[in-house]
Chain A
């Protein structure tokens, strides 16, 4: 089959887009890290400088410490939820699993300030603890705060992967061990746990990567001795020429790649769930009464904890004054009015940027999926790999790359640097979220039988007509899922946004939230913005869920293939 000219043009356009907006900026960053600032010659001196500076050494170890501790604490949250709900006949298992996912629809920085008010030294919980027991637990002191907030937000990655792994274990795996004399803890330790391990490692490495790269949470908690904030602060205060920001970027990218490699290694060839046939899932056991009380208690506590950012944010957005008290003094809606009267552009910009970015993502995602799965165009796999590589690029790094690459290019009509143009922010967001949309589109296309397209061609439809009338309509569920994932995550993106936004009138919600949260007076409106963000993302997720479900029913026949 010879590639259609239209396919070639599409492939070239996508390649140019990825080259210009992903590869060149990132390569630029890496390149600068190895350049002597004065001469431009290749050197390792920047890295030497980095590790000779005690502040950076501290930031490096802090980042590692925070990421590892967050994984451990997230495991503490996820493990009981996953284990109880998959292993026992558990009433409300679905509710637990659903509530467990909720933190994901809000990025950690949004709830960070609310968490300080709930768990800080003078926060609600400590005020109560002091009153009742005379103790004060430093949940939110320095690095603790970052670890606490990050693990609460990212533990669902472990929960999802671990639950899936436990559910995928063939029941016969467990039964054959019982048949050979194993039971109880030994059975768990020797059979169940090792079989669920790949899923756990995959989830844990995502948490590690997310925490290691996160910029927003440490900034909002004012903990700056971490790598991502250091990179941001160097670039924004000293300037685009300072090499330290680039060195940190290279380190961030390396650790991201490392985490992704570990995840891939854990999962490679160890898809135990689908390897063998037989009944699915572990045998579920009825709990004894005391077990039931204990596990419901533990789960209730965990759920309360992981939902506390949402609870705190809601209180903060409706509260009048909330300081040195368990709950706000009074309640009001003025914060919301303030947001809508004074800076409605935060909300409108967010919807505009996130929609455009998501549109770009599903367009490119569908095209790459089609090129990779249905054509033999040379380099089709590379389009896929390059687009997916964006996963390993932290937001800070992409932001720095854009500044470096596009600062010198000026818009012809206003003379403004290209990197300050809001369209660049949209493109940056779309590049960062492209992997999600691409995976959704690829999965949708993989489920489509080629015979459906061949039937259309057999009846006289050309390639383009076939794509337009057969492929895209049948992929619509996957495309929509990709759109919503891209939209929802782009709507609350902060780390690239904060680097590229040049003025408040162009800023999206995440940036506004960050600015508001800087001052005590801005916390109320900031929290209101946060709640608005959660609502936007939540509504998008719900709508997509509905549409996808309806699509499934309508396409019942097509799914048979």
Chain B
């Protein structure tokens, strides 16, 4: 496709955001945000609603005014440029297709604004409509299209102008669950094909994990952590990231050094020995928290001999949820409640509520949280 659409790699540009602060009235919406997005990267802003992710995206597009900080695209400072001079393509959450224009007119708009010759506009519109599989529907009005088709038109309208950066504001949120999965695969394919630097805003961690090269997790106007999906899941930097991405058991307590190794003592009386590599420097000797995933804990009947490695502790099953591929137990150990995932296979015995069980935690999978 790249050859005859003329959508070329040369356009892929990096984006850098430097110390951006933005207010809505007295509300500090973006707090000293800095990020570097590499050329050609599929980058995701992930966070709950109100975390500032859409505001940050709009700022890159030129909508909204930062109090301080810079935005650079391809090395050029665009902070002072109005939206229509930025050459970044944005797909809006509502798609914002103009209802008084046909699909073709919608898609041609940006090229017409760039005063390209008519034959070239026609050729490029045809090419991009074919790319998104909508050639047949070019003369329809947006209201005559399904949600998925509207989504493709919005995407086509944006990529046809070959922007340096593609911005996607929760583009899948208006689609039903099945279509969403299909569209995100199409989106990823298209992005790889066009090698476009892409920034994707979502509140859905699955969407972020399945598409992004890297993710910036945001909360309360602050970038909490940047990393690949696996890094964020396995090594969350803080409590927010740990619990926003997946299910997390978090225990609060103290870290104590004993004979060269370190041991974590939770307030509820659970002790977990940690290796040196697990302990961040500044956490030593302070009150801190540890985090582990439910699948890092194994269950045994309480009477079974201590055969497993790691920390073992006894507890009572308070709740169980059957989730198909696994069974999730909530087990009370002292004052703590620990979530445990057991893989489920047919005809395999499981624990019922009220049963005493022995838990063993794989200590190598424990993460010390710094915030």
Contacts and interface: CB of A to CB of B under 8 A. Distances in A.
Interface in B16-68: 61-63
Contact of B99 (A177, A186, A275): A275
Q: Which of A173, A180, A277 has the most CB atoms of chain B within a 10 A radius of its CB?
A: A180
B99 A175 contact: no
A181 B110 contact: yes
B158 to A, nearest CB: 8
Contacts of B88: 179
Contact of B114 (A181, A195, A272, A277): A181
A179 B100 contact: no
Contacts of A194: 98, 100
Interface residues of A, number: 25
A172 B100 contact: no
Contact of A275 (B92, B143, B161): B143
A414 B110 CA distance: 78
Interface string A163-174: 000000010110
Interface string B82-93: 111110111011
B121 to A, nearest CB: 13
A379 interface: no
Nearest to A193: B100
B313 to A, nearest CB: 49
B294 to A, nearest CB: 36
B124 to A, nearest CB: 13
B109 A172 contact: no
Given A180-B113, A182-B113, A186-B113, A172 B96 contact: yes
A269 interface: yes
B305 to A, nearest CB: 60
Given A186-B113, A272-B100, A277-B174, A178 B95 contact: no
B114 A175 contact: no
Given A172-B92, A176-B98, A276-B99, 6 more contacts: A173-B96, A175-B90, A178-B63, A180-B110, A183-B83, A270-B100
Contact of B94 (A178, A186, A270, A278): A278
Contacts, number: 83
Contacts of B265: none
Contacts of A79: none
B157 interface: yes
Contacts of B89: 179-180
B307 to A, nearest CB: 57
7 contacts: A170-B94, A176-B90, A180-B89, A180-B110, A270-B100, A276-B96, A278-B92
A170 B97 CA distance: 10
A195 B94 CA distance: 16
A191 interface: yes
A272 B100 CA distance: 9
B253 to A, nearest CB: 46
B86 to A, nearest CB: 8
Interface of B: 61-63, 82-86, 88-90, 92-100, 109-110, 113-114, 143, 157-158, 161, 174
B25 to A, nearest CB: 14
A175 B92 contact: yes
Interface of A: 170, 172-173, 175-183, 186, 190-191, 194-195, 197, 269-270, 272, 275-278
B106 to A, nearest CB: 9
Nearest to B143: A275
A93 B139 CA distance: 40
Contacts of B158: 179-180
B269 to A, nearest CB: 48
A177 B109 contact: yes
Contact of A178 (B83, B97, B157, B161): B83
A272 B90 CA distance: 21
Contacts of B96: 170, 172-173, 175-176, 276, 278
Nearest to B95: A276
Nearest to B157: A180
Q: Is the interface of A mostly helix, strand, loop or mixed?
A: helix
Given A269-B143, A272-B99, A275-B99, A180 B93 contact: no
Contacts of B85: 181
Nearest to B113: A181
Contacts of A191: 98
A47 to B, nearest CB: 40
Contacts of B93: 172, 277-278
Q: Which of A176, A191, A272 has the most CB atoms of chain B within a 10 A radius of its CB?
A: A176
A172 to B, nearest CB: 4
Contacts of A170: 94, 96
A21 B92 CA distance: 54
Report the 3 A-B pairs with minimum CB-CB distance, sorted nearest first.
A180-B110, A278-B94, A172-B96
B84 A179 contact: yes
Contacts of A275: 99, 143
Contacts of B174: 277
A176 B98 CA distance: 9
Contacts of B110: 180-181
A503 to B, nearest CB: 56
Contacts of A183: 82-84
Given A194-B100, A195-B100, A272-B100, A182 B109 contact: yes
A312 B174 CA distance: 56
Nearest to A283: B63
A195 B90 CA distance: 21
A191 B86 CA distance: 20
Nearest to A173: B96
Contacts of B82: 178, 183
A345 B306 CA distance: 105
Q: Which of B82, B84, B110 has the most CB atoms of chain A within a 10 A radius of its CB?
A: B84
Nearest to B110: A180
B113 A195 contact: no
Given A194-B100, A272-B99, A275-B143, A179 B94 contact: no
Nearest to B107: A180
B90 A179 contact: yes
Given A175-B92, A277-B94, A180 B99 contact: no
A170 B95 CA distance: 11
A297 to B, nearest CB: 28
B61 A179 contact: yes
B99 A270 contact: yes
Given A195-B100, A275-B99, A276-B95, A175 B113 contact: no
A178 B113 CA distance: 10
Q: Which of A178, A181, A275 has the most CB atoms of chain B within a 10 A radius of its CB?
A: A181
Contacts of A177: 98, 109
A181 B84 contact: yes
A445 to B, nearest CB: 28
B98 A173 contact: yes
A172 B113 contact: no
Contacts of A180: 84, 89, 109-110, 113, 157-158, 161
Contact of A176 (B86, B92, B100): B92
A18 to B, nearest CB: 36
Q: Which of B97, B98, B109, B158 has the most CB atoms of chain A within a 10 A radius of its CB?
A: B98
Nearest to A277: B94
Contact of B161 (A181, A195, A270, A276): A181
Nearest to B83: A178
Nearest to B100: A194
Contact of A195 (B62, B83, B99, B157): B99
A3 B130 CA distance: 56
B143 A175 contact: no
Contacts of B161: 180-181
A502 to B, nearest CB: 53
A294 to B, nearest CB: 23
A172 B58 CA distance: 11
A186 B115 CA distance: 12
A181 B157 CA distance: 12
Contacts of A278: 92-94, 96
Nearest to A269: B143
Given A186-B113, A269-B143, A278-B93, A179 B99 contact: no
Contacts of B63: 175, 178
